Structure 1
């Protein structure tokens, strides 16, 4: 896996978990399940269940102020997206489209993904991660030039 797909996996996993706590979640979930159905149909049903279980865990964690769980859930989805991209790299453009559209729907304090991988860096901004969870995960902003290192974006 090249660095641009690795960056996409990080930003997508983070965006997915962030969107789970927004009003845009249902359409985001539907788009993501449809994506898995199209590219890895044998995994679509289990991914749907995993997304819902993660959302429940995220909402409980946020209610109790458990930022560590939020970070762990983000890392889990980054790994799942990475595995999807390794198995089917052609999914990248569709994944970007889904996340850009849904992040825009979530409002200005939500998350967004920018960049097309080929012509520019993957970036993400998160207003949804509470406390220092996103900063500890190092995924508030990912630049292709610094894989694995994130820097908080100014709000």
Structure 2
């Protein structure tokens, strides 16, 4: 298996296992089963069973050792899928991207909830800053308060 596909299989396995232990487990299951449904429909039931089994393990005994075993098992499943159906590469890329987006959204929601608990109800802002200093110039940037004292 080419190295890029092996990395994709490993990334997908890590993403699936880590996402199954979140509140988004139903969406993770839907995405995983959907990959098999599109590329290996004859193995769809097995993928669904494997997802359910992984979810049970993560709920019953969420140890690092169990999680590592699950990642290895999913990595092998994804490698086998990619060996049998190279076209599944795009579907796995999309799965990884969507799970990363879901984790980022959950992290943002958790951060907002924490700020609300602390009494800071101001919504998070996205700040994109770009600067370029030329001819010995100095650039100062800050996402919030900044106090600059002349030298």
* TM-score normalised over the length of structure 2: 0.66
Q: Equivalences for 1:130-145 in 2 at 5 Å?
A: none
Shift of 1:30: 0.7
Of structures 1 and 2, the one scoring higher in RCO (CA 8 A, sep 6+) is 1
Change (3 A) 1:81 1:27: same
Higher strand proportion (structure 1 or 2): 1
Structure 1's unaligned 5+ residue stretches are 111-155
Q: Equivalences for 1:32-47 in 2 at 5 Å?
A: 32-47=32-47
Give the Cα–Cα distance (whole angstroms) in 1 for the partners of residues 88 and 40 of structure 2.
10
Shift of 1:59: 2.0
User: What are the superposed Cα offsets for residues 51-75 of structure 1, whole Å, 9 maximum, x if unpaired?
Assistant: 011111012222xxx2211111111
Shift of 1:36: 0.2
Shift of 1:108: 6.2
Q: Equivalences for 1:6-17 in 2 at 5 Å?
A: 6-17=6-17
Match of 1:59 in 2: 59
Match of 2:29 in 1: 29
User: What are the superposed Cα offsets for residues 26-48 of structure 1, whole Å, 9 maximum, x if unpaired?
Assistant: 11211211110111011001110
Shift of 1:90: 0.9
Contact 1:23 1:106 in 2 (8 A): no
Give the Cα–Cα distance (whole angstroms) in 2 for the partners of residues 16 and 29 of structure 1.
9
Change (3 A) 1:53 1:103: same
Runs ≥4 residues deviating over 2 A = 106-110
Structure 2's unaligned 5+ residue stretches are 108-151
RMSD after superposition: 1.6
1:101 to 80, 85, 98: 98
Number of residue pairs aligned between Structure 1 and Structure 2 = 107
Contact 2:14 2:71 in 1 (8 A): yes
